[in-house]
Structure 1
Amino acid sequence: MADRSLRTGATVRELLREACRDLAHLESARLDAELLLAQVLGIRREGLYAHPELEATEPAALEFRALIGKRRTEYPVAYLIGRRGFWNLDLEVTPATLIPRPETELIVAAALEQIPAQAAWRILDLGTGSGAIALAIASERPACTVYATDIDPKTLATAEVNRAAGDLPNVHLQQVDWLINFGETAFDLILSNPPYVASGDPALYTGETAHEPRLALDGGVDGLGPIRRIIPAAFDHLKIGACLMLEHGATQGAAVRALLAASGYQDPETLRDLAGHERVSLGNRP
């Protein structure tokens, strides 16, 4: 066990060495320790390397050790510092929001490939969470109007903080259960990163995921419950020729393509993420 005594004048080097011992069971121990110490000291991470002999105050050392104690339990670093980078954005995240994943940037890239640079499309992001997908697209396509929905008011409050911080007036947030309340509104593109983890999957109860909101992860018995609701409902809200894009689990591509085809979508296909896993499936309304 690391020495827990509070020493006046502990340096950056000493605090990081101690934290890495405490977090040795985590692959990201060094990175985690650096991010947390930089947060506590109010400096950029590079500053830790530039000034390893910088002395932390006793309150700062106490705060840092408290954060390391939480991280030992695999409590997510993103929640501890309240931020997560995504696309070109620095997003606020809270325990009420799913932490944006790097693989989710694939659906943003796929959407931007379809949206002409100056297009004034109407776009719908279902289950927006922190607003990651909607805000990333809106920042790249300012002429578009992006509607972002979520059923959880706490989640929407965080998305609003991120919308305001990004100065993105072309994003409109609404508390909606998937596509209910949209009437006959038609969109040029609908996309979603819905819950898609099966209820019995051990991943829901282990590691960092165990600390994230179950509502944003649990997709029912086979993980496809929300996707089954979205696919037929979205069809009637798409303009002719418009596309539905869905993120899903690495083994769910074939099932999602079959659901798209069964609902009348044209030429369903699946895109792979950087790890080679099937990650985003899409189809067009004919």
Structure 2
Amino acid sequence: MQDLQSVLARSASTLQTISDSATLDAEVLLCHVLEKNRSYLRTWPEKRLTNEQLRQFSRLLERRQQGQPIAYITGTREFWSRDFIVNPSVLIPRPDTETLIEVCLQLLESKPGAKLIDLGTGSGIIAITLAAEYSQLKVTAVDNSTEALDTAQNNAQLNHTPNIRFLNSNWLAEVPQEKFDFIVSNPPYIDVNDPHLSKGDVRFEPNSALIAEQQGLQDILDISQQSHQHLSHGGYLIFEHGYNQKQAVHDLLEQQQYQNIHCVHDLSGHPRVSYAQWLPQL
């Protein structure tokens, strides 16, 4: 019998060997096919699927069995209570990045009309979330990938954030000579030899958005150096980084003459976001 309950039970069992969240994965995929939310599955467990719905679900289930991330299969991911389009040209949004959003929102309280640039915007979750929270904020979103920029622009339209401009640039290299109050980035910070690169969703995500030279620190160094010419006096440089990079990032920022360096832990208690001020002697 092909009702929701039996289909879910069978598919969750099938996914047990490749996923730590097999039941949730099956529910999300089935909801995607049905265009319903998960409460529908619990309210109507006896509802029967059509043959076409079963065929669609089987195709999605097969992709998940191959290890493909749920977000790439469905084409969407929620972040900060908003929906974002995702595809293999961009990273999948993760809860860790919400820590960076929290830091930015706290610092923006006293400067809601500030100028902010998001480097390596990817799907645009940082730029769009901040632009949506502060409509007076003047946001620039930068990425070196035209495919990623297309995705971010689509997400900006989806989330109604007209206060963002998009630029194709390798970090700040092609950004006009102007000053920003905030430079924000979730750059590549994983070392090329990190064993996590061969596990889970990251196997399918773009290496250019994950891996950095110099034990994962090269892009953080490049951005911190380039930011000298683009930060206003007292402006903030804010990074997401690896859980084991707190001291290295602190030392790097100190060497680059940033001041008031702080690190904030994520929901799992790991050091995740570092920020500092640019206060050169005038």
Task: Give the TM interval when normalised to the shorter protein.
Answer: over 0.9
Query: Which residue is equivalent to 1:178?
Result: 171
Query: 1:272: how far off?
Result: 0.5
Secondary structure of the equivalent of 1:147? strand
In the alignment, the residues of structure 2 paired with residue 43 and residue 101 of structure 1 have an alpha-carbon distance, to the nearest angstrom, of 23
Are the equivalent residues in 2 in contact too, given 1:129–1:156 (CA < 8 A)?
yes
Equivalent in the alignment of 2:227: 234
**Mapped pair 1:121 → 2:108:** no
1:60 deviation in Å?
1.1
Residue 215 of structure 2 aligns to a residue whose secondary structure is coil
Q: Is the 8 A contact 1:261 1:267 kept in 2?
A: no
Rounded Cα–Cα distance in structure 1 between residues aligned with 2:53 and 2:213: 43
Q: Which residue does 2:12 correspond to in 1?
A: 20
In the aligned structure 2, how far is the partner of 1:254 from the partner of 1:221? Answer: 15
Structure 1 position 269, deviation (Å): 1.5
Compute the displacement of 1:166 (Å).
1.1
- Within a 5 Å distance, the mapping from 1:2-13 to structure 2 comes to 10-13=2-5
Of 92-101 and 198-207, more deviation after overlay is shown by 198-207
Mapped contact 1:88–1:136 kept (Cα < 8 A)? no
Name the counterpart of 1:5.
Answer: none
Identify if the C-alpha distance between structure 1 residues 101 and 15 changes in structure 2 by more than 3 Å, giving closer, same or farther.
same
- Aligned mates of 1:181, 1:38 — CA distance in 2: 42
Structure 2: which amino acid aligns with 1:13? Q
Cα drift, residue 88 of structure 1: 3.0
Distance 2:176 2:22 in 1: 49
Query: What is aligned with 1:216?
Result: 209
Q: Distance in 2 between matches of 1:37 and 1:120?
A: 42
Kindly state the Cα deviation for residue 63 of structure 1 after the two structures are TM-superposed. Answer: 1.5
Q: Say which SS state the counterpart of residue 148 (structure 1) adopts.
A: strand
For 2:89 and 2:192, how far apart are their aligned partners in 1?
A: 19
Task: Count the aligned residue pairs.
Answer: 278
Could you tell me the TM-score, scaled by structure 2's length? Answer: 0.96
CA deviations over 1:112-161 (Å, ceiling 9, x no partner): 10112672111000000000000000001100110000000011111011
Asked if 1:60 corresponds to 2:39, the answer is no
CA distance in 2, matches of 1:173, 1:65: 38
Q: Counterpart of 1:31 in 2: which secondary structure?
A: helix
Unmatched runs of 5 consecutive residues or more in structure 2 = none
Deviates more, 1:257-266 or 1:55-64: 55-64
Specify the alignment match of 1:263 in structure 2.
Answer: 256
1:112 matched to 2:105? yes
Q: Residue 216 of structure 2 aligns to a residue in which SS?
A: coil
The within-5 A match list for 1:1-286 is: 10-25=2-17, 26-116=19-109, 119-286=112-279
Report deviation, 1:42: 1.5
Say which SS state the counterpart of residue 110 (structure 1) adopts.
Answer: helix
- The more displaced of 16-25 and 180-189 is 180-189
Contact 2:167 2:175 in 1 (8 A): no
1:203 deviation in Å?
1.4
Q: Secondary structure of 1:102's match?
A: coil
SS in 1 for 2:2: coil
In the alignment, the residues of structure 2 paired with residue 104 and residue 85 of structure 1 have an alpha-carbon distance, to the nearest angstrom, of 12
**CA contact under 8 A between 1:117 and 1:141: conserved in structure 2?**
no
What's the RMSD between the two structures over aligned residues? 1.2
Structure 1: 5+ residue stretches without partners: 1-8
Q: Is the 8 A contact 2:168 2:174 kept in 1?
A: no
Kept after mapping to 1: 8 A contact 2:188/2:211 = yes
Which amino acid is 2:128 matched to? L
Q: TM-score, normalised by structure 1?
A: 0.95
